[in-house]
Amino acid sequence: MTGSKVASLRPVPELPCEPIACAQCGVYQLCLPLGLFEADLSLLESVVRRKATYKRGQLLFRPGDRFDFIYAIRSGSVKTSVQTPDGRVQITGFHVAGELLGLSAFDSGRYSCEARALETTSICKVETGRVEELAQRIPAIQYQMLRIMSGHIRRDEDLILLLGKRSAEERLAEYLLGLSRRFAARNYSPTQFRLSMSRGDIGNYLGIAEETVSRLLSRFQNAGFIAIDRRQVRLIDLGQLEAMARINAA
Amino acid sequence: MTGSKVASLRPVPELPCEPIACAQCGVYQLCLPLGLFEADLSLLESVVRRKATYKRGQLLFRPGDRFDFIYAIRSGSVKTSVQTPDGRVQITGFHVAGELLGLSAFDSGRYSCEARALETTSICKVETGRVEELAQRIPAIQYQMLRIMSGHIRRDEDLILLLGKRSAEERLAEYLLGLSRRFAARNYSPTQFRLSMSRGDIGNYLGIAEETVSRLLSRFQNAGFIAIDRRQVRLIDLGQLEAMARINAA
DNA sequence: CGGACAGTTGAATGAATTCAACAATCGTGG
DNA sequence: CCACGATTGTTGAATTCATTCAACTGTCCG
């Protein structure tokens, strides 16, 4: 039961956090996958106001705050959440390098969710007032914004389906596979990674109790599908995990 | 137990469905609440390709279909849904006049959800290829698209919270209040309306069983909060409903 | 009129929660 | 560098809310 199986896993390396130019930013092509011309890049540069660093647990913004910035993650990870009037919290997403935060605030001019760093996290803050100007001058950006928001809606649909129609087992299997895919897309190992969020956060996000997450992870490990020690995970049998995420059809 | 209490309710009047110009459309200011100049309007007109009518149960589009049109509802109502590989369906929204459908398809170029008419429904189909051009020529539209998608994300957050953290009772109470607000925003009675969807659809959307919906509606009626006969609803005690939607905090 | 569908209600069942106690680990300050 | 309190994670047992199964009724439409 010790972690010897996974003790050899390297932790995810931290990216350097100095404020560098967008052109040098390792993740800007994730923010804006289109590939801009040089002139456009310097224009982009001009709207990026602050490059900030947040520590674990620190708040980026909360519901009701004025929508002054779009937040782009350069490194680290962030959770977003919404809550009921009586204080029950639902995590709506875990976000990593290249993702934009705060997009649900365009409509009302105020953030509708809360964003909090899960670990030391480097952020670019982009002035919202300037996004419109920028988009007008660089049509590619305008279109890219639509795509990014569209992708956001798509992922929300996935979560809605998961919360509405899937069993606890399916939820957790799908969650692990989803992380795997995201790591793969960023050229990290899809089978070995570190969870930056607690069991409680995972359960909250998936709409199940923290204890259920624990129980299921143990079960997955005993079944030989994964190896898990603390927050280090190794996915051993992707096929079985996929089967669990799908087939467990009541 | 007969419907005498609510028998006097007028059904929601049907809007006329002939293809008229956008300038005359009763709901275009819902699609595009900004208020365009005349010149802009005729430009808008030029991108609206087809004005179609769908009957109850008819399919507008399904996941995987090519993203050729954005759908704007002129009258009637539409449900959108996603599903698991093994066929379990989750309804992601009920949509009425003035709302746009298909926005989650920008990202991949294919619709990610299915859209189906709940009743006779009049639709404007807008060519996606032209949306970009149009947005570029009319900045107001570009900004409006961002707001609309932002609002979409916001509503998805609400549903995620509901599915993840609320009891069956809260879900249904909130659902009725949500309908009430939407009707109010369209100058229909916020306390008397017709449900265009079945109990099964309501339950599916809220992530609870059809039987539970039935039981709770009966309970609400016995408690004197609502009067319901078939699909005609009257909300009697908004305050109590709000209390149920919020306070029922386990 | 009659079949199919939509809705209601009761009883038994169950998946996940809650409550509880405990174990392991982290991190902070002496 | 170690100790200790706080946090995070694990596991068991009892409980519960909602589901499932089932039978029945009412209503709509061809």
Answer yes or no: is A210 CB < 7 A from strand D.
yes
Please check whether residue B135 is in contact with residue B129, taking contact to mean a CB–CB distance below 8 angstroms: no
Q: Assess whether pLDDT exceeds 50 at residue A10.
A: no
| Residue B250 CB in 7 A reach of strand C | yes
8 Å CB contact of A154 and B108 = yes
Shortest distance, CA B24 to any CA of chain A (angstroms): 26
Q: Is residue A137 scored above 80 in pLDDT?
A: no
How distant is the Cα of A26 from the closest Cα of chain B, in angstroms?
Answer: 22
d(CA A216, CA A221): 8
pLDDT at A175: 96
- Rounded CA-CA distance B83/B87 in Å is 6
Does residue B53 register a pLDDT over 80? yes
C1' (D26) to CA (B218) span, angstroms: 16
The reply to whether B199 has its C-beta less than 7 Å from any atom of strand C is yes
Residue B40 pLDDT greater than 80, yes or no: no
% of chain B exceeding 90 in pLDDT: 51
CB of A137 within 8 Å of a chain B CB? The answer is no
Q: Residues with Cβ < 8 Å from B16, sequence gap 6 or more? A: none
Give pTM, 2 decimals.
0.86
Nearest to B196 by CA among B59, B75, B62: B75
- CB B165 under 7 Å to nucleic chain C: no
Compute the distance between CA of residue A110 and CA of residue B232 in angstroms, rounded to an integer: 36
Confidence of residue A35 (pLDDT cuts 50, 70, 90): low
Which of B147 and A20 is assigned the larger pLDDT? Answer: B147
HEC letters along chain B: CCHHHCCCCCCCCCCCCCCCCHHHCCCHHHHCCCCCCHHHHHHHHHHEEEEEEECCCCEEECCCCECCEEEEEEECEEEEEEECCCCCEEEEEEEECCCEECHHHCCCCECCCEEEECCCEEEEEEEHHHHHHHHHHCHHHHHHHHHHHHHHHHHHHHHHHHHHHCCHHHHHHHHHHHHHHHHHHCCCCCCEEECCCCHHHHHHHHCCCHHHHHHHHHHHHHCCCEEEECCEEEECCHHHHHHHHHCCCC
User: pLDDT, tens digit, for every residue of B227-249?
Assistant: 999 899 999 999 999 999 876 54
Does the beta carbon of A38 lie under 8 angstroms from any beta carbon of chain B? no
Whether CB of A167 is under 7 Å from strand D: the answer is: no
Q: What percent of chain A has pLDDT over 90?
A: 52
Amino acid B52: pLDDT: 86
Burial class (CB in 10 A: 0-12, 13-18, 19+), B110: middle
Q: How far is Cα A101 from Cα A78, in angstroms, rounded to an integer?
A: 9
Read off the pLDDT of residues A199-240 as tens digits, 9 standing for 90 and up.
999 999 999 999 999 999 999 999 999 999 989 999 999 999
Instruction: Flag whether residue B164 sits within 8 Å of chain A, measured between CB atoms.
Output: yes
Residue A145 confidence (pLDDT): 85
Q: Strand C closer than 7 Å to the CB of B213?
A: yes
Place of tokens 């964003």: A115
- The residue of A94, A137, A148, A157 whose CB has the most chain B CBs within 10 angstroms, and thus the best one to mutate to test that interface, is A157
Q: pLDDT per residue over A184-200, tens digit each?
A: 988 889 999 999 999 99
Q: Is the pLDDT of residue A72 over 80?
A: yes
**pLDDT given for residue B3 in this prediction:** 35
d(CA B140, CA B134) in angstroms, rounded, equals 10
Separation between the CA of B209 and the C1’ of D15 (whole angstroms): 21
What pLDDT is stored for residue B140 in this prediction?
Answer: 75
Name which residue leads in pLDDT, A52 or B22: A52
Show Cβ contacts of residue A33 under 8 Å, excluding neighbours closer than 6 positions.
A144
Q: What is the mean pLDDT of residues A108-125?
A: 92
The neighbouring-strand residues paired with A83 are A89
Cβ contact A164–B204 (<8 Å): yes
Residue B217 and residue B206: Cα distance in Å, rounded? Answer: 14
| The nucleotide closest to A230 (CA, C1' atoms) | D9
Of B105, B143, B154, the CB nearest to A150: B105
CA distances from B224 to A90, B218, B234, B239, B242 (A): 31, 10, 11, 12, 14
Among residues of chain B, what percentage have pLDDT more than 70?
78
Gap between the Cα atoms of B120 and B12, Å rounded: 13
* Cα distance between residue A237 and residue A142, in whole Å: 41
- Supply the mean pLDDT for chain A: 82
Position B108 confidence tier, pLDDT thresholds 50, 70, 90: very high
pLDDT over 70 at B45, yes or no: no
Asked whether the predicted pLDDT for residue A7 surpasses 90, the reply is no
Is the pLDDT confidence value at B104 over 70? yes
Does the pLDDT value for residue B2 go beyond 50? no
A158 interaction partners in chain B (CB closer than 8 Å): 82
Please state, for a pLDDT cut of 70, what percent of chain A lies above it.
78
Task: Tell whether A240 is within 8 A of chain B (Cβ).
Answer: no
Per-residue pLDDT for A11 more than 60?
Answer: no
- What gap in Å lies between CA A124 and CA B177, rounded to an integer? 39
From first CA to last CA, the distance across chain B in angstroms is 31
Instruction: Determine whether the interchain pair A153/B149 forms a contact, defined as Cβ–Cβ distance below 8 Å.
Output: yes
**What residues have CB less than 8 Å from B21, skipping those under 6 apart?**
B45
- Window 194-233 of A: residues touching B by CB (8 A cutoff) are 204, 207
In angstroms, the separation between the Cα of residue B99 and the nearest Cα of chain A is 14
- Dump pLDDT digits (tens) for A145-194: 888 899 999 999 999 999 999 999 999 999 999 999 998 988 889 999 99
Q: If you measure CA to CA, which chain A residue comes closest to B137?
A: A136
Mean pLDDT (chain B) is: 82
Q: Are A150 and A143 in contact (CB under 8 A)?
A: no
- Give the C-alpha separation, B214 to B212, whole Å: 5
pLDDT: which is higher, B137 or B228: B228
A40/B204: higher pLDDT: B204
- The Å distance, CA of A211 to C1' of C21, is 14
Residue B65 CB lies within 7 Å of the nucleic strand C: no
Kindly list the residues from chain A whose CB atom is less than 8 angstroms away from the CB atom of residue B105: 150
User: What is the pLDDT averaged over residues A39-53?
Assistant: 66
